[in-house]
Amino acid sequence: MSLPEWAAFAPSALDHKMGLELIEVSATRTVGRMPVQGNTQPFGYWHGGASCVLAETLASLSAFAEVGPSGVVFGIDINATHHRSIRDGWVNGVATALFVGGRLGTWEVVLSNDAGERLCTARVTCALQRPSRRDT
């Protein structure tokens, strides 16, 4: 699947530093991954904060796809449950829209290892600021 043109400019400096690779971006589903290497805690395991960064980034990009390039999104809530650890390879994430309304959207983000085993389940809620009619 090809990425929307704006997606090439969407990842932040933090996303670049963490090695984010985007695979698919839409309002209902966004897919990406990050390497474990460089994103570990002091004991060599994937850092739980990295899970939150990946989850919020994927959900926020889906939210941005919903409101469009003239809109604005803000992450307002994140909850992450860590199921298992990982020491190498990639952490793959899929953000799936659970609810998208006028001003709020919530995405479930499932993070897994290369074998497809679930590492983390996150829920991210974003505020959606759609462009006003005079802005379009």
**Catalytic annotation present for 66:** no
> What number of residues does the chain have?
136
> Could you tell me if 97 and 27 are in contact, meaning their C-beta atoms sit under 8 angstroms apart?
yes
**φ and ψ at 67, to 5 degrees?**
-85, -20
Question: Residue 58, CB half-sphere, CA atoms under 13 Å: how many?
Answer: 33
> Could you tell me if 39 and 18 are in contact, meaning their C-beta atoms sit under 8 angstroms apart?
yes
| Pairwise CA distance, residues 43 & 54, whole Å | 20
**CB neighbourhood size of 44 (10 A):** 11
Question: Of 5, 21, 24, 56, which one is the catalytic site residue?
Answer: 56
What positions carry a catalytic annotation?
Answer: 56
